[in-house]
Amino acid sequence: MDIQKSNKDLLIQHFKDGIKCICIEKLGVEIEHFIVESKSYGGISYYGEHGIGSILEELASYYPNRFEKEGHLIGLYNDDYSISLEPAGQFEVSINPRERIDSITEIYQGFLELIDPILQRYNYELTTLGYQPKSKVRDLKLIPKKRYQYMNHYFETSGTHGIHMMRGTAATQVAIDYSGEEDFVRKFRAAYTMMPLFSLLTDNSPVYEGEPYQGRMLRSDIWDNVDKKRTGIIPGLFDEDFSFESYAEYLMQLPLIFIPKGELAVYTGESTTAQIWENEKISEEDIEHILSMTFLDVRLKNYIEIRFADSMPLIYVLGYLALIKGIFYSDENLNIILEKLKPDEQKIREAKASLAKDGFEGIAYGYHAAELLQDITERAEAQLDPREQALLAPIKEIIKNRRTLANKYHEDHFKSI
């Protein structure tokens, strides 16, 4: 038996199993937060009497399920959403896919009603920014999870910003479905095409290592410089034969850093998926791990994960969800993006560089960025019902004023600088 082919086929089958023949317009969302001191904005550690671990324990009575690793509580979940922790204790709320965006609102507000009284008791608060508002990353401890120690070690030499990514960043990630392989390819390409524009639109990273950040799209730049083998644009995205198999082949050559072994993890460094499972079949648990170890701007699991937005306050998250829904669940809008903009890998990189340099005055695919975003937003709006059209108002305001959330933060917090 050809084990390598068998393993690749198992990955491909996993993607096929994600096909929704009747593609209901569902969205899943993950919002990452920092828990900080209310006055200083300094980061809170997992450890200690009133640390994040203790906060999770206080929350645990409200949730039917808990997730422990190596003897430590690191997650809680119910039927609607889960709470998990990123490497330095970034507090992630992952809401299961919902057809109606107002259902997502209700679930998230229910979470806030549980956690806010606990945080207020300790003079803490949740903040939604793309980068730590005050603390420097080397002052932030990793949570007690062996995988993050291995990743921390690996990223010390794989790029320049691994430590900043792991400890300092927070994102908004959106999951969408696909109705077949062709639909996956279309949505995947369109998501990458929109990446520079949406990275600018959702830029909420005004601080870097405790100091005002004067550039744009900081979090995107940090991720680009973590590890070239697993970030950025998947090779061959616009090749004519790009497919589930292309993504599986990419994963087979991905260095995995570590693999889970029961409650423990084993460091594997540069060894690839193909090398680690050279003589044995991968399990479903192995597949989940393999899929999680690529940090592409757009990721495939058995859904498509759009990963490039910064963490944002709820009203902007809801507007962003409405924008994605109006684009990615519209055949007309997907076709317009791919046919009008005629993207390729080089054009995506050029657009990203231009928008990072010139913001809304930059050029993307031959168009003025602000005008292109306005056109795309109007097209998305036309596909939504009136309730969800109203959610776009904060997004439209950003485009109209050409003023990102990062710009607003600077105006509100650094007026004297």
Backbone angles phi, psi at 23, to 5 degrees: -85, 85
Greatest alpha-carbon pair distance for the chain in Å reads: 69
Between the CA of residue 22 and those of 39, 102, 329, 380, what are the distances in Å?
Answer: 49, 22, 12, 21
Q: Reduced to 3 states, what is the DSSP secondary structure of residue 204?
A: coil
Q: pLDDT tens digits for the chain (417 residues)?
A: 589 999 999 999 999 999 998 767 899 999 999 999 999 999 999 999 999 999 999 999 999 999 998 789 999 999 999 999 999 999 999 999 999 999 999 999 999 999 999 999 999 999 999 999 999 999 999 999 889 999 999 999 999 999 999 999 999 999 999 999 999 999 999 999 999 999 999 999 999 999 999 999 999 999 999 999 999 999 999 999 999 999 999 999 999 999 988 777 899 999 999 999 999 999 999 999 999 999 999 999 999 999 999 999 999 999 999 999 999 999 999 999 999 999 999 999 999 999 999 999 999 999 999 999 999 999 999 999 999 999 999 999 999 999 999 999 999 888 644
Residue 268: exposed, middle, or buried by beta-carbon count in 10 A (0-12, 13-18, 19+)? middle
Q: Please give the DSSP secondary-structure letter assigned to residue 159.
A: -
Q: What residue has token string 């570590």?
A: 258
In the prediction, which pLDDT does 262 show? 73
In the prediction, which pLDDT does 19 show? 95
> Pairing mode, if any, of strands 363-364 and 367-368?
antiparallel
**Which candidate, 322, 357, 356, places its Cα nearest to that of 25?**
322
Structure tokens at 26: 């569902």
Report yes or no: 217 and 356 within 8 Å, Cβ to Cβ.
Answer: yes
In the prediction, which pLDDT does 257 show? 96
Q: Which amino acid is at 363?
A: I
In the prediction, which pLDDT does 416 show? 45
Query: How crowded is the C-beta side of 76, counted as CA atoms within 13 Å?
Result: 18
Residue 385 domain boundaries: 3-413
Between the CA of residue 41 and those of 36, 53, 124, 129, what are the distances in Å?
Answer: 5, 19, 9, 12
Q: According to DSSP H, which parts of 51-142 are helical?
A: 52-59, 101-121
Helix (H) or strand (E) run with residue 219 in it: helix 218-224
Domain CATH number, residue 58: 3.30.590.20
Q: How many domains does the chain fold into?
A: 1
Q: Which amino acid is at 316?
A: Y
Q: How far apart are CA 416 and CA 184, in angstroms?
A: 48
Structure tokens at 315: 């009203």
Q: How far apart are CA 392 and CA 384, in angstroms?
A: 10
pTM summary value: 0.96
Q: How far apart are CA 360 and CA 372, in angstroms?
A: 10
pLDDT digits (tens, 9 = 90+) for 50-70: 999 999 999 999 999 999 987
Using N-to-C axis directions, what is the helix angle for 314-328 and 369-381, rounded to 10°? 80
Q: Which amino acid is at 11?
A: L
In the prediction, which pLDDT does 417 show? 41
Q: How far apart are CA 211 and CA 218, in angstroms?
A: 13
In the prediction, which pLDDT does 415 show? 65
**Which candidate, 361, 363, 375, 348, places its Cα nearest to that of 403?**
361
